[in-house]
Amino acid sequence: MRAFATFLGVAAAIFLAFPVQDFLPPLGFAHGARILLVPVIFCYGALVLPFPGAMALAAYTGLLCDLAYSHVVDGRVEIAVGWSIVIFVIFGLFAQGFQPAFRRGQWWLHIPFSMVATSLYLALQFVMISFRREGVAFGEVTAWRILGSGLAAGLLSPLVCTVGWWANVSFGSRPGQGGERFARP
């Protein structure tokens, strides 16, 4: 029951993150890299939820990402809906591997995981676009946008962990009562 409540909370946070991140300004020093909240929140959810919950969250997040980001231009879908689900399922599987350490209190694992997941997601998105549009045009700005968003994700990670821990404690989870899974930063 607690896991289900956590799933609902994380799912709601991911949904709200889509409009919120539209209002966050791009990072000027990183050539317009965007601050992406969705992968950071997903990584937190995948680290705290049991396996079925993490996979369901991956399917949900992937679907919303595709609906939010891909465009239908001239009657053509540039990136097929569904590919992000595959990517988030892979991220979720990796997160489950880190979960025991995360539950033991090594909350900082969320930082590198968020950074890598965010950058990797953007890099794969770029590869998909390059295939679709024929021809790779990788440059300085491309690299900055991929790594800059990853860096922002790493900086946001402690905040997301703190809010997650606070929300769980507020809803009755306590260390020693199963609440240790929600590692405190």
Beta-bridge mates of residue 103: none
CB of 59 to other proteins, least distance (A): 5
Distance from C-alpha of 104 to C-alpha of 106, rounded to nearest angstrom: 6
Backbone angles phi, psi at 73, to 5 degrees: -120, 130
Q: Which is nearer to other proteins, 21 or 112 (CB)?
A: 21
CB of 162 to other proteins, least distance (A): 23
CB of 91 to other proteins, least distance (A): 13
Q: Which is nearer to other proteins, 86 or 159 (CB)?
A: 86
**What does the angle CA 180 – CA 116 – CA 89 come to, to the nearest 5 degrees?**
70
Q: For residue 43, which of 107, 117, 106 has the smallest C-alpha distance?
A: 117
Residue 77, C-beta contacts closer than 8 angstroms, at least 6 positions apart? 70
Q: Which is nearer to other proteins, 19 or 176 (CB)?
A: 19
Q: Which is nearer to other proteins, 3 or 56 (CB)?
A: 56
H-helix or E-strand spanning residue 72:
strand 72-73
Q: Which is nearer to other proteins, 2 or 31 (CB)?
A: 31
Beta-bridge mates of residue 73: 76
Q: For residue 57, which of 99, 100, 101, 13 has the smallest C-alpha distance?
A: 13
CB of 111 to other proteins, least distance (A): 21
CB of 159 to other proteins, least distance (A): 18
Are 90 and 41 in contact by the 8 Å Cβ rule? The answer is no
CB of 104 to other proteins, least distance (A): 21
Q: Which is nearer to other proteins, 83 or 108 (CB)?
A: 83
* Dihedral sign from CA coordinates of 71, 119, 98, 6: negative
Chain residues binding other proteins by CB under 8 A are: 15-16, 18-24, 31-36, 51-52, 55-56, 58-59, 62-64, 66-78, 80-83, 85-86, 89, 93, 122, 125-126, 129-130, 133, 137-142, 145-146, 149
